[in-house]
Amino acid sequence: MTKQTLKVVKIGGNVINNEEALFSFLKDFSELDGPKILVHGGGRKATEVSSAMGLKPQMINGRRVTDEATVEVVTMVYAGLLNKKVTAKLQSFGCNAMGLSGADANCILAHKRVVKDIDYGFAGDVDEINSEIIDVLLKNGVTPVFCAITHNKKGQLLNTNADTIASEVTIGMSELYNTELNFVFELKGVLESIDDKDSVITEINAEKYEQLVAQGIIADGMLPKMHNCFNSLKKGVGKVKIGDASLVKKSTKLYTTLSL
């Protein structure tokens, strides 16, 4: 029996924080054929809300330190405001979406990150994806919309990197579907030159990736994103693409495709 293709799309804060861009993207996403899953972050909004509440966000190496107060804020913002905002907009386009955190239906089980050099607080690292329950939703025409909140099955909510959630969900669904992982961010793809927004490297395999890292073309914030991409491919994901919000349009031709 031929497997269906499942598309998992992760959108970054640059899309979520721009009403016009979000509206356009979600309309295009809703028109994608076949089963699909959306994953979103929302760190910028969490920082705004934290600051408004008198909390000072603490970031180390670009990652948020999640203390007890912060885990409450990010849960309110990610699993509440942003998740329901995205879900409601998808419903307006006729896409029957369901907003979820990892705790809902035990979809994503994680553990509190083990402290090595840095204590990130209630940051979560994914252990398990409940592919069977996610498959039930997909088979009933429901599009899951996951935020960046997981849980440890002991009552503790955890703040988990949205790129990682997208990667792990796609890996977890690969036994049931032909999976495609799409990372949507502010650029058209991986660029040859950061000063030329159209200098997209259209295809990158594992060998070329190592060369680009050595040359310093792939660096900083792109490194963990690319690590998630290649980790996904090694663990059964069929295709990975990186591009801007137009990535989900059928007419889009400029983006980066990754392969082993």
For the annotated binding site for substrate, the residues are 42-43, 64, 159
Question: What phi, psi does 34 have (nearest 5°)?
Answer: 80, 180
**What is the bridge-based pairing of β-strands 149-151 and 178-184?**
unpaired
CA distance to 61, 71, 126, 252, per residue, from 158 (Å): 19, 7, 10, 36
Q: Quick one: DSSP state of residue 191?
A: B
Backbone torsion region of residue 99, taken as left when φ is above 0, otherwise alpha when ψ lies between -120 and 50, otherwise beta: beta
CB atoms within 10 A of CB 98: 17
Binding residues: 42-43, 64, 159
Three-class DSSP category at 15: helix
